[in-house]
A and B are shown apart, each in its own frame.
Chain A
Amino acid sequence: TQLLEQSPQFLSIQEGENLTVYCNSSSVFSSLQWYRQEPGEGPVLLVTVVTGGEVKKLKRLTFQFGDARKDSSLHITAAQPGDTGLYLCAGARWNAGNMLTFGGGTRLMVKP
């Protein structure tokens, strides 16, 4: 069992649809980061959320940090083929030297 569980693991949708990806844990995090990874490349940071209940928007992407700082969600509105990729959440814990722990990832495919 991973510390950070992401769901779903795989998601295939049509262009224009909305989707939500979840990142859940029983642990409390000091901050949580979302990354996107494309084939053959390393992950690239999308956003960092720090405060419980925080909502951040990045164009069509909306990120939310749970009130209890144990979970997060990523919502994409009107998905486009360019959104295709592996989405990873990563949490930092105070009692682990603030090192990041990554979830298993959600692989998203958006079909034109």
Chain B
Amino acid sequence: DTGVSQDPRHKITKRGQNVTFRCDPISEHNRLYWYRQTLGQGPEFLTYFQNEAQLEKSRLLSDRFSAERPKGSFSTLEIQRTEQGDSAMYLCASSKDSPRETQYFGPGTRLLVL
């Protein structure tokens, strides 16, 4: 399977704990996006990378959130001191160079903060 993969698929954690999610994009894709989606809403942009450079970060993104893409391949999204409001589906997508290119989404990581 050469699509976008995400790990883990599900995560249950207690409030205050740190969590880290991983995304492996399609191999030849340079752009990688992170989104958050809650029930009944569309995906909300969090941040994106062009190769290893993080080029844009949502103003809505708390400083508890950090993302990396150290070698321009896989990416990690870390949430520190999780809150119940962080419960959501975290989606990763990748695309080729142009922002107008199709984004291919991974299956998502569903986070539940108790």
- Asked whether A and B interact, the reply is no
Residues of A within 8 A of B (CB): none
